[in-house]
């Protein structure tokens, strides 16, 4: 697996900070898991983009996934396969970053996610 360290862009850090304030979820990794699931729930593929991971938000894959790290990796590999990208490590890593950042944008932009109850009502 090539996903050892996860970093987000400065814009994503700002969006996550707002989500932390609104939802009262204290940990970056928990919010990032929600973000990933929100993006994976979408049928469309995330738009290809060059993501500059220039923020101070950084975590290992094990911290991101916790006890379910293998499940998140399986979900990513399955999604890459279904989207016709293949399941090579570099492809999965690129798609993970795209899904993560798209999901962070959803957390920041959707008024339903302005509280923990809003997140729970939407579910993933």
Alpha carbon 20 to its chain's center: 14
Residue 55: per-residue pLDDT: 92
Q: How far is residue 51's CA from residue 112's CA, in Å, rounded to a whole number?
A: 26
Domains of the chain and CATH, by start = 5-122 (1.10.1220.160)
Q: How far is residue 123's CA from residue 98's CA, in Å, rounded to a whole number?
A: 20
pLDDT digits (tens, 9 = 90+) for 84-106: 999 999 999 999 999 999 999 98
- Banded model confidence at residue 24, pLDDT cuts 50, 70, 90: confident
The average pLDDT across 7-31 equals 91
The tokens describing 15, both together, are: 């969006």
Residue 121: per-residue pLDDT: 61
Sole residue written with tokens 């220039």: 54
Strand positions, DSSP E, the chain: 5-7, 58-60
Residues in the chain: 124
Residue 34 has pLDDT above 70, yes or no: yes
- Banded model confidence at residue 81, pLDDT cuts 50, 70, 90: very high
Residue 1: per-residue pLDDT: 46
Sole residue written with tokens 């994976």: 40
The average pLDDT across 6-22 equals 92
- Crossing angle of helices 10-23/89-109, nearest 10°? 50
- Banded model confidence at residue 122, pLDDT cuts 50, 70, 90: low
For all residues of the chain together, what is the average pLDDT?
Answer: 89
Q: How far is residue 104's CA from residue 87's CA, in Å, rounded to a whole number?
A: 23
Residue 115 has pLDDT above 90, yes or no: no
- Banded model confidence at residue 2, pLDDT cuts 50, 70, 90: low
């Amino acid at each position: 697996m090539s996903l050892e360290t996860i970093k987000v862009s400065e814009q994503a850090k700002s969006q996550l900070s707002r989500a932390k304030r609104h939802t009262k979820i204290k940990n970056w990794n928990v919010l990032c898991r929600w973000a990933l699931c929100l993006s994976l729930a979408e049928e469309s593929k995330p738009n290809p983009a060059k993501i500059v991971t220039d923020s101070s938000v950084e975590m290992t894959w094990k911290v991101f996934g916790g006890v379910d790290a293998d499940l998140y990796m399986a979900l990513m590999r399955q999604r890459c396969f279904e989207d016709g990208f293949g399941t090579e490590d570099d492809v999965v890593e690129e798609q993970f970053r795209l899904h993560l950042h798209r999901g962070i944008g959803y957390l920041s932009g959707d008024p339903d996610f302005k509280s923990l109850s809003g997140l729970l009502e939407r579910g993933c």
